[in-house]
């Protein structure tokens, strides 16, 4: 009689490994969920408070005023033809149309309802809830 020497894993060993991987996933996945959304909110906050705001301040330094609501943020990329035309436009101040992390354009108004100079905001993850908006007045 010949004894076969078979190498490999038994079904019980494979099930044990799957259970261990499942237990690890149950512990790790809840810690990672929600971080993606928080990262998107942070990107929008940086755009509103620093990136786009810096471009608007440079525009104002060159032209003595912020772009009007009618000119919008497009005035940061191409010289406006809508009055009041800028006296010494030295752009582009931004390379492309600023879009929020949710794929929507940032909202701009000058003069603003919340700030005398301008209002700049994103509707955020929940467009219908003003509490989720990311703005330069909060």
pLDDT in tens, 65-109: 999 999 999 999 999 999 999 989 998 999 999 999 999 999 999
Name 126's Cβ contacts closer than 8 Å, sequence gap at least 6.
Answer: 132
pLDDT digits (tens, 9 = 90+) for 17-74: 888 887 777 777 666 666 777 888 999 999 999 999 999 999 999 999 999 999 999 9
* Per-residue confidence band for 4, with pLDDT thresholds at 50, 70 and 90: low
How far, CA to CA in Å, does 83 sit from each of 19, 69, 74, 94, 111?
Answer: 68, 11, 14, 20, 15
The confidence score (pLDDT) of residue 5 equals 64
Single pTM value for the model: 0.73
Q: Is 119 helix (H, G, I), strand (E, B) or coil?
A: strand
Q: For the domain with range 49-91+105-138, which CATH number is right: 3.30.1950.10, 3.40.50.150, 3.30.930.10, 3.30.700.10?
A: 3.30.700.10
Q: What is the DSSP letter of 34?
A: T
């Amino acid at each position: 009689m010949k004894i076969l020497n078979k190498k490999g894993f038994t079904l019980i060993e494979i099930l044990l490994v799957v259970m261990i991987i499942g237990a690890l996933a149950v512990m790790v996945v809840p810690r990672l969920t929600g971080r993606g959304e928080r990262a998107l909110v942070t990107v929008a906050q940086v755009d509103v408070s620093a990136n786009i705001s810096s471009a608007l301040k440079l525009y104002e330094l060159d032209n003595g005023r912020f772009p009007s609501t009618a000119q919008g943020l497009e005035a940061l990329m191409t010289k406006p033809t809508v009055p009041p035309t800028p006296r010494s436009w030295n752009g582009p101040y931004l390379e492309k149309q600023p879009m929020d992390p949710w794929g929507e354009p940032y909202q701009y108004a000058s003069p603003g309802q919340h700030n005398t100079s301008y209002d700049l905001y994103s509707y955020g993850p929940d467009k219908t809830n003003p509490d989720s908006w990311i703005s330069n007045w909060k």
